[in-house]
Amino acid sequence: MCGIVGYIGNKKATPVLINGLLSLEYRGYDSAGVAVLNPSNDNYILNIIKDKGRVKNLEANPELENLIGNVGIAHTRWATHGMPSKGNAHPHLDNSGKFAVVHNGIIENYLELKNKLQDNGYKLYSETDTEVIPNLIHMNYNGDILEAVSKTMKELKGSYAIEVISPLFPDKIVIAKKDSPLVVGIGKDENFIASDIPAVLAHTNNFYFMDEEEIAVVEKDKIKFYNLDLQEVHKDIKNIEWDAESSEKNGFEDYMLKEIYEQPQAIRETIGSRLSVDKQVELGLDEIDFSKFNKIYIVACGTAMHAGIAAKYALERFCKISTEVDMASEFRYRNPLVDEHTLCIFISQSGETADTIAALKLAKSAGATTISVVNVIGSSITRLSDYTIYTHAGPEIAVASTKAYTCQVTLLNILAINIAESLGYSSNELNQFKVDLLELPDKVKIALESAQEVKSFADKTCTQQDLYFIGRGLDYAVSMEGSLKLKEISYIHSEAYAAGELKHGPIALIENGVTVIGVATNPVTTEKTLSNLEEAITRGANVLVVTNQDIRNDKIGMLLHIPETHPYLSPIISVVPLQLFAYYIAKAKKLDVDKPRNLAKSVTVE
C-alpha cells in the first residue's frame, strides 16, 4: 500500500497523476512513482520515474517533463516488504518491460510465487511482494490481457488493488481488486482511477466502486467490469457530494488543525435528521429485531476502537445488553462466541481497514447481524455489512483522526438511543440524554476556546520523553485516545492508565518533572481521580486536568474547564483539549503533523 492513481484521456497524464498523489499524501507513504505510456513513432514505450521520499521529489525531477502520454498510473508506497528505496518503489515492471503495475495490499504467498517465477527463468530485482504480479501477468499472457489478469488474480493470496498498463494495449488501463479499495471516476472522454475519492475529486463527482475480485478495463470513453471468470458485470454510478474545496486547508496551517476546528459542524451534520429537535431518532434500522440479541460486540482498530469504548457505556445502560469492545486484529483469532443472537458493530473511518474487514467476514459467517459505522460511502465495509450508518465528518485528510472520532462517538450514542427505544425502554435520563446530544456542537465549539491555554502548556512540555494520561470510566477511554494522538504525531512515549490502577505499578514511573494529564468529568469518580493525581503530584509530577467539575486545587499545574454534559457524552468534548495538546506539542517539535512517520491513513493490510 498506500495510494493509487490512474488516468486515461486526452490530457497529459502526468499532472493529473502527480496532483492525485499529492491528494493522497494524508495516507502516509515513504516512496512514490509514475508510469506513463509515451508515444514513440508509431508505437508506445513505457517510461517510469520513481524515487524514495515525498511526491515533491518526483515533481522536482526534470525528466517528468518528457512524460507526455495520455495514459498513466501512479503510486505512493508504504513499505511492507522491503525497505523504502527507489528500487522497491512502484511502479514495477516484468522482465520483458512490457507490463507496468502498481499495487496496494499484501501478497501473502509471494515467496511461493517468486520461486515459481524463478524456476521459469524470471529474475526479481526488488524486495517487494508486488514484483511477482507483472511477471505473472507476463507468464499468463497469450494475447488476451483480461485472461492474463484473471489467471494471475487466481494465483494471488492476500489483498490487492492493482493497475496495469502496457504498450501492448496502449488505449487501456486494466485494474483489479480484492480486499483493498479501488474506485473509477467518470469524466467526459477521460476516466480516472484511485484508491481513495479525494485523489480525483477535483475532476469528477461520479464514481464506480469496485467490488471484491472484480476486474475492469478502463478506456477514455468506456469502462467494462468483469468478475473473476470474465463474465461482464453491471454496476451503478454513485454520485459523491464532497467537493474538492472541502479537502483543502482553508487558511489553516495544517489539515489536522482544520479538522479539529471542523468538529462542531461535523458533529452537527452527523446528528442531522437522525435526532430531530423534537427528539425523534431515525437511523433506518427498523428492519432489525433488536430483542433477539443477548450480546453486542463493537469491533474496530485504534481510534475507532476508542470510539467504541466510549459508546459501550450508553449501550449497556440504555439498552441493557451486555456489550464488549474488541480489537479487530484480535477478534477473529480468539474464537469469539458469535451467533444469530449477536449484534456486531464495526467502526472504520475509511471503511477499508483490513483487520476490521476480516473480523466482519467472520461475524457474518457465524450468523451475526452486522452494522457498520463508516465515513466513506461505498467503501468495502459498507458493502459487506448488513446495515450501514454513516458519519458525516466529510473528508479527513490528516493521518491522525480527530473529527472522525467525535462523529463516531456521537453516532454510536444515537444508535444506543435507537436500540433502547426499539426495545421499549424510556426514561427521563434518556430524554435528557437526547437534549444533551443536540447541544454537543455548541459545547465542542466552547471547548475549542481552550486552544491558547493548551498551547501554553504544550510549549512547556514538548521536551518531555514520557507522558501519562489517567482517568476513570469514560475518562479513561478518553485518556487512551489522548495518549494515542500524542504518540502518533509527536513521537513522545505516552501511556494511558485507569486512574485507580496508578498505584498498582505505574506510579513507579512518576518522578520529579514528569507530566501527568488527568481527565475528570464524571461527578461520581472525580474525587477519586483527584486523589490519584495527588499521589502523582506528591512525587513531583506536573499535572494538567481537563474537567467540567468545580475543582479547586492550587497544586494542579493547569485546569482546563470544558462545558458540562451527560457523562456518557463527555468524551466528545473532553477529547478536544487532548487533540489540541498533541497538535501543539508536535508543532513545537517542528514535526509534520499531517503525515507522521510510519503511519498510513487507511490501513489496508493486516
The position carrying cell 494471475 is: 152
Count of all residues that appear for the chain in the document: 606
Q: State the catalytic residue, choosing from 2, 301, 319, 344.
A: 2
C-alpha dihedral sign at 167, 169, 170, 172: negative
Task: Give the E-state strand segments of 31-109 in sequence order.
Answer: 31-40, 43-52, 71-77, 92-93, 100-107
**Distant-in-sequence, close-in-space partners of 594: CB < 8 Å, separation ≥ 6:** 25, 26, 254, 255, 256, 397, 398, 399
Question: What cell was used for 288?
Answer: 432489525
Give the CA-trace dihedral at 17, 243, 403, 212, to 10 degrees. -60
How far is it, in rounded angstroms, from Cα 588 to Cα 186? 43
Determine the angle formed by the axes of helices 145-155 and 132-140, rounding to 10 degrees: 130
Task: Give the E-state strand segments of 187-301 in sequence order.
Answer: 191-194, 206-209, 214-218, 223-226, 232-233, 238-239, 295-300
Q: How far is CA 405 from CA 114, 303, 360, 402, in A?
A: 41, 7, 20, 5
**Distant-in-sequence, close-in-space partners of 11: CB < 8 Å, separation ≥ 6:** 70, 190
How far is it, in rounded angstroms, from Cα 299 to Cα 331? 7
- Quick check: 470 and 533 in contact, CB under 8 A? yes
* Other CB atoms within 10 Å distance of the CB of residue 429: 11
Q: State the catalytic residue, choosing from 434, 445, 487, 601.
A: 601
How far is it, in rounded angstroms, from Cα 259 to Cα 254? 9
How far is it, in rounded angstroms, from Cα 83 to Cα 131? 14
Phi-psi region of 179 (alpha: psi -120 to 50; beta: other; left: phi over 0): left
* Separation of CA 422 from chain center: 31
How far is it, in rounded angstroms, from Cα 199 to Cα 38? 23
Catalytic residue flag (residue 188): no
The 10 Å CB-count burial string (b at 16+, else e) for 489-502 is bbebebbbbbbeeb
**Distant-in-sequence, close-in-space partners of 489: CB < 8 Å, separation ≥ 6:** 256, 399, 400, 582, 583, 586, 591, 593, 596
Catalytic residue flag (residue 344): no
Burial of 550 (0-12, 13-18, 19+ CB in 10 A): exposed
How far is it, in rounded angstroms, from Cα 142 to Cα 183? 28
Hey, which residues are catalytic here? 2, 601
